[in-house]
Structure 1
Amino acid sequence: MAKGGNKIPDLTKRRVREQLADETDPKAIKRLTAAREYLEGLSPADIEDKYGWDRQTVYNWLNRFEERGFDAALYDKSRPGRPSELSDEQFEEFTAVLHEPPEEAGYDDPAWSTALAQHYLIEAFDIAFSRRHTRRLMHKAGVSPKRPRPEPASADEDERKEFEETVEKK
């Protein structure tokens, strides 16, 4: 860290402006903007006042440029996260099953709900996911979960039967 002055002595205004013009990553844009403002003479406190970014965050960004160099300071390292409990083959099988009616998988339901897909995952792969994560898996598989629509209590039974008989299902 530089003492009493320019924290990023190797960085030029021109280089920052050129990179800022081409940048699309939101975090990199913020870091470059902070660096540009700092090079223009604003203090981290002034940058905080102007943009609402915490002063310590601005200092952290400037320190990144100083310690890591220009290119490494712009982007975060990838964070792969937790490995999936479903193997690629299991997910492919799950996707294939979801693209067929539930009757094909032995269920007496007209469409795949999140709860039904969750039940299938437990039965087929012995893996229990939350409903929220099951919904994510369904969306990743390209299937929207269906919910049963409640029938109003005031519905006339004869009208409902006539409607069901006359409407052609696709």
Structure 2
Amino acid sequence: PMRKALAPAERGLTRYDRTRLRRALRRAEDVRVYQRAQALLLVAEGYTLAQAAHVTGLSRPTVYFWLKRYVQQRRMEALRDVPRRGRPPAAERITPEQILLELSSPPSDWGYSTHIWTVALLARHLEWRYGCPINPHTLRRRMKAMGLRWKRPRYVYSEKAPHLPQKKELLSVG
């Protein structure tokens, strides 16, 4: 047997909150704030947390978290995300100028047994040269942002087959 839903008043919501939440839905510009306000409005109208979560696509614990936060502050700003710093930048000390500088000379000048740079080799070289670890994926992304295009080296020279006219003639005979 399912438990009966708590009344909105038992959750701390009033008719003023319903009015405030309806107004917030009309004015919401951020989809997350809209979802949260919609979930809380459903709870304020008597739906269970699980039903509100199902309708809005949020999880039940998430609806409970935003409900608790809203009831504590009674302001729509409570439904907004707190600003975050984001992912810390990787290999800050390696600049585009340094990447171009290293690309300007072949790896053989640095004692490597190859005459072309690969992303993995360049990443290792930059890490050794500047003492700052850099992942090959990060380096590839940075080089793309710099407008550089990376092509895999071709180890076999592309030449026309010596008997190309004869091959084509065999194919076209019908």
Q: How far has the Cα of 1:120 moved from its partner?
A: 4.2
Aligned residue number for residue 105 of structure 1: 105
Q: Does 1:79 align with 2:81?
A: no
Q: How far has the Cα of 1:34 moved from its partner?
A: 1.0
Aligned residue number for residue 133 of structure 2: 128
**Unaligned stretches of 5+ residues in structure 2:** 1-7, 108-114, 165-174
Q: How far has the Cα of 1:65 moved from its partner?
A: 1.1
139 and 30 in structure 1: CA distance in 2 versus 1, 3 angstrom threshold:
farther
Q: What residue identity is the alignment partner of 1:86? A: E
- Counterpart-to-counterpart distance in 1, 2:122 and 2:16: 54
How many residues align? The count is 148
Among all aligned residue pairs of Structure 1 and Structure 2, give the percentage whose two residues are the same amino acid.
24
Question: Could you state the TM-score of these two structures normalised by the residue count of structure 1?
Answer: 0.62
**Unaligned stretches of 5+ residues in structure 1:** 163-170
Runs ≥4 residues deviating over 6 A: none
Instruction: Give the RMSD, CA atoms, in angstroms.
Output: 3.7
Aligned residue number for residue 54 of structure 1: 59
Q: How far has the Cα of 1:146 moved from its partner?
A: 3.1
Question: Could you state the TM-score of these two structures normalised by the residue count of structure 2?
Answer: 0.60
- Residue 159 (structure 1) aligned to one of 155, 161, 168: 161
- Counterpart-to-counterpart distance in 1, 2:120 and 2:144: 14
Q: What residue identity is the alignment partner of 2:39? A: A
- Counterpart-to-counterpart distance in 2, 1:106 and 1:156: 22
Query: Which string of whole-angstrom CA distances, capped at 9 and with x for unpartnered residues, describes residues 85-136 of structure 1?
Result: 423xx424246x18x9x3x233443xx7422441342244122222223233
Report the structure number with the largest CA radius of gyration: 2
- Counterpart-to-counterpart distance in 2, 1:7 and 1:148: 66
Q: Does 1:91 align with 2:89?
A: no
